[in-house]
Amino acid sequence: MIVKENYEIKNHTSFKIGGIVKKVYFPETQSEFTELLRELDDYIVLGSCSNVLISSEGYNGNIILTTELKQYEIRGIKVFVSAGVKGPLIAQKTAEASLSGFEFMIGFPGSIGGDIYMNAGAHGQSISDKLVSCCVFNKKTKEIEYKQKDEMNFSYRNSLLQNGDYILLHAEFDLQKMPKEDIDNLIQRNLEFRKSIQPSLKYPNAGSVFKNPENDSAGRLLDKSGVKNFDFEKVKVWDTHANFIVNKGDAKSIDVLNLMVKMYNAVKDTYTIKLKPEILYIGEKTGKEEELWNILYQESQK
């Protein structure tokens, strides 16, 4: 297993932001992964780092990256996928097998572990739709368990994994047979939609910044609140979708947090709605970052 000490993590994040991490582990097999989870007492598990903002001040702890856990298997309509497999890859591989259900992931930069953690979805599909069961590591007992779909507590951008007691190892899905041409057409439509509205990773970003409020769209609220005009030296709101922040080159975590608070306040002042961040913040905080974090991640929960 590759282990890196005092490792600059920013090149692993889709935001291209992040400082020095005390120790980063790259397990390659499930046995290495579970052994590590049993051995370490304090750690954070991340996948493609596509939905996170890691502090430019770094993180004085252990991070386990699942990027080398790339195993998957297709058996008939059943698909078994390790936590580190990237969504676009498995979307392509299942399409080649004439299996439908993963088309929405074609433009996602995230991994299966992160997608299940967030119950990711788009274009009327979500990761939980076709899920059968999850193989998870219980952090309290340090044992491997299997959870059926109805035990995963799925809701909008939420799952059992967010309670902090479980880590995904791999998941099983039942997909649906469909003509490959129909699947390819759906994938192409999804790609074209994302390309027309959302920034590609050529423009470093972490996906949607805020969760949709019930029966509304965060993007609509942000747009109507005028945030598309928010363009600063190192970060900006994306031109065609107001719920995305782009790193213009050498932004730091403080730049993103500052812009997030401006977006948050714009919607709160216009609609008295407190948007909840979808991006997870990880790492050490300066005094100013602590202040901004409290507004975004504490006040918004009230």
**Catalytic residue numbers, as ranges:** 157, 208, 278
CA distance readout (Å), 270 to 45, 214, 226, 257:
37, 17, 10, 20
- End-to-end Cα spacing for the chain: 42
The neighbouring-strand residues paired with 197 are none
Among 238, 285, 229, which Cα is nearest to 257's? 285
Among 102, 103, 8, 25, which Cα is nearest to 66's? 25
Tokens linked to 13: 């994040």
Distance CA 206, CA 279 (A): 7
DSSP state of 221: H
